[in-house]
Structure 1
Amino acid sequence: MRTNKLLTTFAAFLCCTFATMAQKSDGFTPLFNGKTLDGWKKLAGSANYIVENGMITGTTVTGSPNTFLATEKEYGDFILELEVKIEDSTSNSGIQFRSHLDASGNNGLGKVFGYQYELDPSARKWTGGIYDESRRDWLYPLSLNAPAQNAFKQGVFNKIRIECIGHEIKTWVNNIPAAYMVDTVDSKGFIALQVHSIGNNEQLKGEKIYWKNIRIKTTHLTGATFPANIYVLNNIPNSICPGEQKAGWKLLFDGVTSNGWRGAYKTSFPENGWQIKDGILTVLSSEGKESMNGGDIVTTAEFSAFDLSFDFKLTPGANSGLKYFVTLTENNKGSAIGLEFQLLDDVLHPDAKLGRDGNRTLASLYDLITAAKQTRFIHPIGQWNTGRIVVYPNNHVEHYLNGIKVLEYDRGSKNFKDLVAISKYNVWPNFGEAPKGHILLQDHGNEVSFRSIKIRQLQ
């Protein structure tokens, strides 16, 4: 019996040795030794972290803010891999990276802020999305990559991967690509495991989250390729990152010139009414007089199926729009006709109360379909918001606002035609059904700014 015990111990020693050698051979080193919390420290809250069976177990407690188990070291560029298990769908967690501590936050308890890999077993299914803890809120909701929303499995260990190389951040869930973001806010910081606050909800007390096989690689890094159809959130204005370039994205506004644009019903760019300065394209105010200053501008090129992304910033009470499938065949007075992603200050502009059921509010398909928005995902007037319009080759269309899909419809369908018939557009035959058209930025007489206008044509 003693001999067998010695052999078992020796075999276990060999397994651990070979595992360590394998990790070193692929450039990864452990962040967790499987036995103790050496190299880690608890921050900001009072949730419990213990080591058991080679895992870190975090347990929720009442009366605590979010609690984090953070690395004592900071990391800049890295590839992080680990496994996570969440047993209950009411739990929420995350993995902080390039993060920091505000020691004075939470009344002196400390407040962690920075990038977070979301762990979300709820029906929302946003695991793998990127959140900015205690700062900018959601950056990359996983509604931007719907196929990845089913990758996470509740009650079993899931493989997590985070790449931070330069300004590029990429995430995976069980080897399925999830989020791709380009951002410049943080270049380094600690890594942390979150136990989310449950407030004083006794029913959620004692829920557990498990982490194991936590390892990191910090040298000789090569970023993995993402599929071209996954949207890249690029927060560097008027730029195309390598991943976007490979996927076929192109800038419609270069940040410097009016190249690629002209006035609607004109042969050149307006001489006044529009301003290009500091990488921003701005339609100037004319006290609300629609198309009476510089007038609308349109792309010189026409597009059919496409993925279009743009940043916009409204001034108080502003009204404008981004229109698509603009043919310029109507020769109407005022703004040119097209399908419109409405840009509006919903609080101060009276148009928000017109139309039907709010179908003239921000991000709506103007006068046709109301955008289903949550206030949380609308950035305040005076700050940048990101709009996105996807027109698939089969004429299915989606509107997004700050990463959240707010409406969808099918061009040319019976439902679409029925909506047109009871709208202001019913006087134009086959409205919105042209096979191709220009992209238009509207001069509605209010100051509105644009940047990072980019497009990818879809086949």
Structure 2
Amino acid sequence: MKLRSLVPFVSGLVALAALSNAHAATWRPLFNGKDLSGWRVINGSAPYAVLDGAIVGTTVAGSPNSFLAHEETFGDFVLEFEVMQDVAPTNSGVQFRSISSPDVMDGRVHGYQCEIDPSARGWTGGIYDEARRGWLYPLSLNDRARTLYQYGRWNHFRIEAIGSSIRTWVNGVAVSHVIDDVTPSGLIALQVHSVRGPEEAGRRISWRNIRIQTSDLTPAPVEDLFIRNMIPNHLSDAEKAQGWSLLWDGRTTDGWRGAHRTDFPELGWKIENGELVVLESGGGEAKHGGDIVTAAPYSKFEFQVDFRLTPGANSGIKYFVTEEINPGGGSAFGLEYQLLDDAQHPDAKEGAAGNRTLASLYDLIPSRKITSGLGLQPRIGQWQHARLVVHADDVEHWLNGIRVVEYQRRSPALAAMIARSKYHDLRGFGLAEEGRILLQDHGNEVRFRSIKVRPLP
């Protein structure tokens, strides 16, 4: 093992001791170390056996994902276990608050999964919604955790599910934090993933020291990592502690006004079911409400929003918006995170090298395309997640938990791109010290919710 990979592992053991000893008297074993009493195989046909005090699952060709489920269901809990793979790496995971019912998907196991990923991607400890929404917390959101899992040795895992807060640790280091309330309780199950063919059969995943706490639970201190909150227009205490605030309350127009005006547009927008909606107008002036901007300007900040595009829709999120550039009205100018149905809107083929496609820095820098991953790939008609990270001049665009654009605002490279763009004659474009955040009315129906911001140092 390289020294630099050993350092976080050893420091994690110190944190692990503190976490595990906090409630040592309340732990209950879920596995007796001798046989599979209290467990049952559901779905696939991969075999599970007890060997040297561990549950060992083995991959088989021709089987879908297999699960060894505990006979009890659990709501709030802290779960700890150890995992090792030593006969070729293979994807796996541990289900929790999951469901297997003959009335739903023919009994297919679905729900939260703590990922075990020994591949080069290294997303072990990420949270995946098995057979449902896909990735809730990919480790692109916590890159430093990608090297924690060590193939060929025992690794310690911790899952904390208390109320709507779901968190994971690997070898004592915090990995994921999701806020979600879709499934408040369910089964715990050990996954043996399907394999591509006979050449991948016979690979083993071993679990041991499986124990749980279900009473007198005290959440661990909140770590400084990104929190993915899936509850619409909700701000958790952990997010508040990190400095996040809601930019929209889900009910009123407070905090927003029309661009180039002092009030909120009378037309073109509506509030419905906790969603801020741009109405379809086809660009017609009679129904066109125009863009809206935040009441306050921002300089160093992090911003996030859920958005849902209708087929063929065009919109955008602009930042560092300075209405003084075009005081006569019309569209307010600013750097733009493009919102677009790339497949159906013709603007995707305009510009250069795809720099007008979804999540691009509009007309300047194309976004990297997300080509795989349930919950990660863009999906028109479903909710997606946009995020901006702005450290003054260092800027990042994120889409569904994946960083797809990064650039420096005052760099010669960006200046050269601006000189070749539609903004070439706008003096000082994108260089303001601070500016407002804008949601664009481009005449197509687009829905927004969970609009949040926090200042950055």
Q: Give the structure-1-normalised TM-score.
A: 0.90
CA distance in 2, matches of 1:369, 1:290: 30
Give the 3 Å change call, closer, same or farther, for CA 291–302 of structure 1 in structure 2: farther
Give the 3 Å change call, closer, same or farther, for CA 38–23 of structure 1 in structure 2: farther
Q: For residue 209 of structure 1, what is the amino acid of its counterpart?
A: I
- Which of 241, 244, 251 aligns to 1:249? It is 244
Corresponding position of 1:413: 411
CA distance in 2, matches of 1:283, 1:95: 41
Give the 3 Å change call, closer, same or farther, for CA 181–209 of structure 1 in structure 2: same
- Which of 116, 138, 142 aligns to 1:145? It is 142
CA distance in 2, matches of 1:370, 1:231: 25
Please report how far the alpha carbon of residue 88 of structure 1 lies from its aligned counterpart in structure 2 after TM superposition. Answer: 6.1
Q: How many residues align?
A: 433
CA distance in 2, matches of 1:140, 1:210: 24
What per-residue deviation string (whole Å, max 9, x for no partner) do you get for residues 211-232 of structure 1? 111100000011112223x111
CA distance in 1, matches of 2:98, 2:385: 24
Please report how far the alpha carbon of residue 373 of structure 1 lies from its aligned counterpart in structure 2 after TM superposition. Answer: 2.2
SS in 2 for 1:206: coil
Give the 3 Å change call, closer, same or farther, for CA 399–290 of structure 1 in structure 2: farther
SS in 2 for 1:455: strand
* Residue 302 (structure 1) aligned with residue 297 (structure 2): yes
Give the 3 Å change call, closer, same or farther, for CA 448–290 of structure 1 in structure 2: farther
What per-residue deviation string (whole Å, max 9, x for no partner) do you get for residues 48-101 of structure 1? 211111111111111100011110110110000011112367410000001111
Name the % identity. 55
Q: For residue 156 of structure 1, what is the amino acid of its counterpart?
A: R
Q: For residue 27 of structure 2, what is the amino acid of its counterpart?
A: F
Deviates more, 1:256-265 or 1:425-434: 425-434
- Which of 204, 218, 230 aligns to 1:235? It is 230
Give the 3 Å change call, closer, same or farther, for CA 290–69 of structure 1 in structure 2: farther
SS in 1 for 2:332: coil
Please report how far the alpha carbon of residue 279 of structure 1 lies from its aligned counterpart in structure 2 after TM superposition. Answer: 1.2
Flag structure 2 segments of 5+ consecutive residues without an equivalent: 1-20
Check conservation: 1:88, 1:121, Cα contact below 8 A.
Answer: no
- Which of 361, 367, 372 aligns to 1:371? It is 367
* Residue 352 (structure 1) aligned with residue 348 (structure 2): yes
CA distance in 1, matches of 2:50, 2:61: 21
Give the 3 Å change call, closer, same or farther, for CA 23–403 of structure 1 in structure 2: closer
SS in 2 for 1:352: helix
Q: For residue 400 of structure 1, what is the amino acid of its counterpart?
A: W
Q: For residue 42 of structure 2, what is the amino acid of its counterpart?
A: L
Corresponding position of 2:159: 162
Please report how far the alpha carbon of residue 112 of structure 1 lies from its aligned counterpart in structure 2 after TM superposition. Answer: 1.0
Corresponding position of 1:54: 53
Check conservation: 1:327, 1:438, Cα contact below 8 A.
Answer: yes
Please report how far the alpha carbon of residue 430 of structure 1 lies from its aligned counterpart in structure 2 after TM superposition. Answer: 3.2
* Residue 328 (structure 1) aligned with residue 331 (structure 2): no
Give the 3 Å change call, closer, same or farther, for CA 291–238 of structure 1 in structure 2: farther
Flag structure 1 segments of 5+ consecutive residues without an equivalent: 1-21
Check conservation: 1:290, 1:335, Cα contact below 8 A.
Answer: no
Check conservation: 2:267, 2:287, Cα contact below 8 A.
Answer: no
Please report how far the alpha carbon of residue 333 of structure 1 lies from its aligned counterpart in structure 2 after TM superposition. Answer: 5.2
Give the 3 Å change call, closer, same or farther, for CA 89–350 of structure 1 in structure 2: farther
Give the 3 Å change call, closer, same or farther, for CA 34–348 of structure 1 in structure 2: same
Corresponding position of 2:77: 78
CA distance in 2, matches of 1:187, 1:150: 30
Check conservation: 1:335, 1:443, Cα contact below 8 A.
Answer: no
Q: For residue 186 of structure 2, what is the amino acid of its counterpart?
A: G
Corresponding position of 1:313: 308
What per-residue deviation string (whole Å, max 9, x for no partner) do you get for residues 362-391 of structure 1? 111111111112254235322211111111
Corresponding position of 2:120: 123
CA distance in 1, matches of 2:75, 2:345: 45
Q: For residue 409 of structure 1, what is the amino acid of its counterpart?
A: Y
- Which of 407, 411, 429 aligns to 1:431? It is 429
Deviates more, 1:377-386 or 1:93-102: 377-386
Give the 3 Å change call, closer, same or farther, for CA 54–248 of structure 1 in structure 2: same
Please report how far the alpha carbon of residue 104 of structure 1 lies from its aligned counterpart in structure 2 after TM superposition. Answer: 7.5
Please report how far the alpha carbon of residue 418 of structure 1 lies from its aligned counterpart in structure 2 after TM superposition. Answer: 2.1
Please report how far the alpha carbon of residue 290 of structure 1 lies from its aligned counterpart in structure 2 after TM superposition. Answer: 8.1
What per-residue deviation string (whole Å, max 9, x for no partner) do you get for residues 77-130 of structure 1? 000001111236741000000111144888x7x521111001111111111111
CA distance in 2, matches of 1:91, 1:98: 23
Q: For residue 400 of structure 2, what is the amino acid of its counterpart?
A: N
CA distance in 2, matches of 1:414, 1:324: 20
Give the 3 Å change call, closer, same or farther, for CA 24–149 of structure 1 in structure 2: closer
Q: For residue 311 of structure 2, what is the amino acid of its counterpart?
A: P
Check conservation: 2:247, 2:452, Cα contact below 8 A.
Answer: yes
CA distance in 2, matches of 1:165, 1:127: 21
CA distance in 2, matches of 1:233, 1:102: 28
